Structure 1
Amino acid sequence: MLKKLFQSFRFPLRRAAHPRSTPQVLGSRQHSVNRSSISRNAVMVVERLQKAGYQAYAVGGCVRDLLLELPPKDFDVATSATPEQVRAEFRNARIIGRRFRLVHVHFGREIIEVATFRAGHGADDAEEDSNRAAHHESGRILRDNVYGTLEDDAQRRDFTINALYYDPVTERILDYTHGVPDIRNRLVRLIGDPRQRYQEDPVRMLRAVRFAAKLDFDIEKHSAAPIRELAPLLRDIPAARLFEEVLKLFLAGRAERTFELLLHYDLFAPLFPATAQALKENPEYTGTLIRQALINTDERIRLGKPVTPAFLLAALLWPALPARVLQQQERGLPPIPAMQEAAHDLIAEQCRRIAVPKRFTLPIREIWDMQERLPRRQGKRADLLLENPRFRAGYDFLLLRESAGEETGGLGDWWTRYQEVDDSTRRTMIRDLSKEDGGAAPRKRRRSPRKRRPASQSGGSDD
């Protein structure tokens, strides 16, 4: 796949001991990126900025993906122009961000993200005004608006494979960090000292896993070495940011591989502590259920089918739920209220770690709630459940539980057949339930008719 990229250009097998002060330059005959593969809007942004006297390049993931002959998800631009200068060049531009100020240039539905070259910074920065980087006591960067040169920008990026700059005007690639050899060797390598870079932003550990899974790369050994020790730093990351990272991890089409890497590097527990505990207590069932859910997710993405984060999160959290439901039942709650109470507590606990929005937590609870309702099929209940808008998700979740080895007494097969047969056969299936041990739902207690109290005891007046 990368034959053209390397057939006329030789690279050192090992990285230089010090950062490069001049880039390795690949001409148009030395790489496989074609100008026509770049978004026309991104090319236009680069050309206009260059004509205005600024440096500008397509950068990052789009260059990496094109070298790997993958379709880029989006196109980013890096420039020497400040955000205000970029906005002055484009009427359709808007400055966003606080921790990292960017410009979004809008072209209908496409947004070209433009970032000013940033400079590196050490953990001992003393000055902390609006133009400097601010650090948390752990080393995490709180603000990152230190502008610099193109070389500075390359050295402060996270991974070598994301620090490649493509000029669509000259069709050259600039490589300051030996990113092209790392693409050849299929390695995810941090730029700079791995420990310091992870401390600056612990989310880089998740990004390393995401790129390794997505691209089928390995994490370079020095970049991998500190991850297990530093994994607890993820607890300091805002819960809202972690939710976005989790979606990227599991909705990129390589969710199963991502899960294995998260477990390998001890990164899963900081994200899903209750599920990690369930994995320790019941590894076979928990691991099988989660892996099957992730395999199903990857297959749906491969086929271009929609994937709802609610179903995926319901599967990731489910193994921690049954024990909590049992605790609620031991306190005297009936099965459905016990499920609802346990679900509320588990989701609230999870949201303190990953801020799952209400638009997802509500369907998660409904999917779980359906697991208590699906066994209750007597009378009109089965037909009412079929009409429930969450029935399909609840039914699919039931099949997922069964595929993980959970015993449900053939409940999945029953519901599968019930959806396929005519009304007459459905009535027969309902009648047959009462003949099966354990098939019938508990009968409601009938209330005794209230006796009418004598008028003399009613508290009323005779007047």
Structure 2
Amino acid sequence: MFNSLISSIKRWHSKPKANEGSDGDSPSGSGRKSRPSGKPSRKNPRPPKTSRVVVSRSDHCLSRRDVSRAALTVMKRLQEAGFEAYIVGGGVRDLLLGGHPKDFDVATDATPEQAKELFRGARIVGRRFRILHARIGREVIEVTTFRGHHSDGEAHEAQQSEHGMLLRDNVYGDLESDAVRRDFTVNALYYTTNGFEIHDYTGGIRDIENRQIRMIGDPETRYKEDPVRMLRAVRFAAKLDFDIEPVTAAPLKELAPLLRNIAPARMFDEVLKLLMSGQGERTFELLREHELWPHLFPDNARHLDAPEALALTRQALRNTDDRIRNDQRVTPAFLYAALLWPAVNSEQQFLAEKGIPPVPALAQAAQKITSNQLTHTAIPKRFSMPMREIWDMQSRLSRRGGERAFRLMEMPRFRAAYDFLLLREDSGEIPAGLGQWWTEFQQADEEQRQQMIRDLPRNGPRGGKGRSRRNRGGRSRNRSKQPNNGSERP
């Protein structure tokens, strides 16, 4: 599919076009110069120049058969009401690349209030920029009004922070102004069922051909408007296996601290998109390369000089990617447990060296590292509680004597804790062996399991089968003194 797209692009570029002039941002390197209406303020730069290029049906491989019926229904109703309507963004991009997008967004010149009247049960959401959620059957289609440049709006419509971040941006415009307000050129492609054309104002098709992520406008200004765009640049590069265009990549390291200004709840959502979309390991490497990772997981970043911590982080992300590709369930609880564990383990060892017993040391370490992380990304309780249970069960998995092994297998977090144990062994943090025992125990029948329990050392640190006998003073006569590596508790 991608090769056929490139062939179409080459044929399309060889054709003369009536609207070509000379503009460096056009896909062909030339085009008619135009600019959106409105006077730019001194504070905000003039919007980038554009060149409109229309790719006809015969010159692209996108078919409406690949677009969801719900999105087509939304477009049809808007068009029948006299409005423009286009499929825009990732849906167009991914279809051109031969992918199968799950979501389709629609852009229109109808305001949210006008569009809402056309769809029963639709909701207007958002404060920074209002959008419409139109429900068609079981699908929800996001409908956005063409945006104008924020310098063209009234003070109450467009507001910026002292760092340049847009706090409110309900300024409407036309198709051309909407294109230049989008983040990257590959996300600014518009498909219409009127003539089945693709409209490209920013050179997005050329950048798809060159396999690069390029910011529309001045990258530094655009990142300051919304620092999350730095994460999106990395995410799209990893997802599409594209390079980040050098000018687009240049400000990332310097502006990375601006991520601290983003609300932790929004950052949690962005982390899920970054690390739980099937390209987590590649995304992690790019985030480190551009020095963005320390502003997402600072405690993890501080421990990556340790080979075991780096190996555990990479393996956790690799395992997550594999499970997603195999349509297996993944949960943020496990991933966060892995990413924060090196810091929790280190803190627990530090507290143990100060004389704090292993159990309260783990609890204090977990509380401290989790609290630190919450200042960067939120962790909803439905994930933070299982995360801590996974940590807590690591020491319990080593105590298998009597009925303990059977009881552990019945616990809700057993499987996650077992997988986490294997992850720790694979990374070299702890010696291998215990994970293999649990693997065999799960595969064995009842009689074999009983024999495995009997074969455990009666008084060994991992057996726990012998009962301690107490003397008259209440002290245990045969309590074993177990070595503790900071990650296990008796």
Q: TM-score, normalised by structure 2?
A: 0.86
Match of 2:269 among 241, 244, 248: 244
1:425/1:45 Cα in 2 relative to 1: closer, same or farther (>3 Å)?
A: closer
Deviation at 1:14, TM superposition (A): 7.1
1:27 counterpart residue number: 56
Kindly provide the CA deviation profile for residues 84-139 of structure 1, in whole angstroms up to 9, marking residues without a partner as x. 110122223211111110001101220111000111235xx89531xx21111001
Gaps of 5+ in 2: 15-25, 34-47, 475-490
Aligned-partner Cα distance in 2 for 1:424–1:2: 59
Say if 2:379 is the partner of 1:378. Answer: no
Deviation at 1:22, TM superposition (A): 4.5
Say if 2:305 is the partner of 1:276. Answer: no
Cα pair 2:425 2:432 within 8 Å, conserved: no
Deviation at 1:16, TM superposition (A): 5.9
Choose 370-379 or 225-234, whichever is displaced more.
Answer: 370-379
Please show how residues 312-331 of structure 1 align to structure 2 within 5 Å. Answer: 312-331=335-354
1:460 counterpart residue number: none
Say if 2:323 is the partner of 1:296. Answer: no
Cα pair 2:13 2:28 within 8 Å, conserved: no
Aligned-partner Cα distance in 1 for 2:229–2:390: 33
1:216 counterpart residue number: 241
Aligned-partner Cα distance in 2 for 1:303–1:167: 34
Match of 2:260 among 232, 235, 257: 235
1:446 counterpart residue number: 470
1:440/1:37 Cα in 2 relative to 1: closer, same or farther (>3 Å)?
A: closer
1:420/1:196 Cα in 2 relative to 1: closer, same or farther (>3 Å)?
A: same
Kindly provide the CA deviation profile for residues 134-186 of structure 1, in whole angstroms up to 9, marking residues without a partner as x. 11100111111111111110011000000011111210111000100001111
Choose 293-302 or 418-427, whichever is displaced more.
Answer: 418-427
Aligned-partner Cα distance in 1 for 2:115–2:67: 20
Please show how residues 22-421 of structure 1 align to structure 2 within 5 Å. Answer: 22-122=51-151, 127-129=154-156, 132-280=157-305, 282=306, 284-408=307-431, 410-421=433-444
Identity of aligned residues (%): 54
Cα pair 2:27 2:205 within 8 Å, conserved: no
Aligned-partner Cα distance in 2 for 1:438–1:155: 65
Cα pair 2:159 2:168 within 8 Å, conserved: yes
Cα pair 1:2 1:67 within 8 Å, conserved: no
Kindly provide the CA deviation profile for residues 267-309 of structure 1, in whole angstroms up to 9, marking residues without a partner as x. 11000000000113x1x21111111111111111111111111
1:445/1:218 Cα in 2 relative to 1: closer, same or farther (>3 Å)?
A: farther
1:459 counterpart residue number: none
Aligned-partner Cα distance in 2 for 1:91–1:25: 33
Aligned-partner Cα distance in 2 for 1:220–1:93: 38
Say if 2:13 is the partner of 1:10. Answer: yes
Kindly provide the CA deviation profile for residues 44-70 of structure 1, in whole angstroms up to 9, marking residues without a partner as x. 221221222222111111111111110
Kindly provide the CA deviation profile for residues 352-375 of structure 1, in whole angstroms up to 9, marking residues without a partner as x. 110010000000001111111111
Cα pair 1:101 1:145 within 8 Å, conserved: yes
Aligned-partner Cα distance in 2 for 1:73–1:135: 33
The number of residues matched between the two structures is: 444
Gaps of 5+ in 1: 451-463
Aligned-partner Cα distance in 2 for 1:253–1:145: 33
Cα pair 1:92 1:107 within 8 Å, conserved: no
What SS class does the counterpart of residue 279 from structure 1 fall into? coil
Cα RMSD of the aligned pairs, angstroms, is 2.1
Aligned-partner Cα distance in 2 for 1:205–1:115: 22
Deviation at 1:436, TM superposition (A): 7.3
Deviation at 1:426, TM superposition (A): 3.1
Q: Which amino acid aligns with 2:251?
A: P
Q: Which amino acid aligns with 1:96?
A: V
Q: TM-score, normalised by structure 1?
A: 0.91
Aligned-partner Cα distance in 2 for 1:177–1:71: 24
Deviation at 1:388, TM superposition (A): 1.1
